[in-house]
Structure 1
């Protein structure tokens, strides 16, 4: 990631947004800007403010902390290791109210990164209508 003295370009910004598993709309809400602003930054039409790289770093730190927590939980629980993912933001928010400003997509990226980092065999189950579907 660029330093705070360098201006981030649109390609780097979009790559980081996608790596974090955030849509333009969700990131716009977190950064308190409009989704059109995000698109303008990504296209290079408008310059990205100097403070944005630090804001993205904070979001990545938050995300990495959740990946690390999930990896630790998986290693500390007895098998079978099952992680629930959500297809809809409303379901995710209902079960993770402290992270409701994020999205089900963000959680799926956290889970994917944690499963990849974990030494445990993990099954991923989708939450649907109050029930888990069979592990995918």
Structure 2
């Protein structure tokens, strides 16, 4: 090994511990052809509902669907349509092949109904996404306050 390559190797490894891992990358999940990104919800009080958001990317060749969601922290979980559709419950969220779907208040999203406990910034809660034939995935959902408070 030359002196230059030794110095380069040392510089790389010495700097490695200072690399910061992106919070969103740390909570990605993979279920077959489905990639589920950073999943989060806002703080909410016990007895209320909480919307949950997640980017989902179907990297396969066939359509997939998110057909159900469940969580021990709520009485039930519902899939809801877009604001244009009146934000009403829907049967499934379509996940077309090769396209990302980002759930959001104005798009399809999950609603955790009648929370059993208060969710505060920094909490993490378990939620299970059911993709029908593709299987189920348990997620650690972060409680985040987007206002920064």
The answer, yes or no, to whether TM exceeds 0.5 is no
Structure with the higher strand share, 1 or 2: 2
State TM-score, norm by structure 2: 0.22
State TM-score, norm by structure 1: 0.23
Structure possessing the higher radius of gyration over alpha carbons = 2
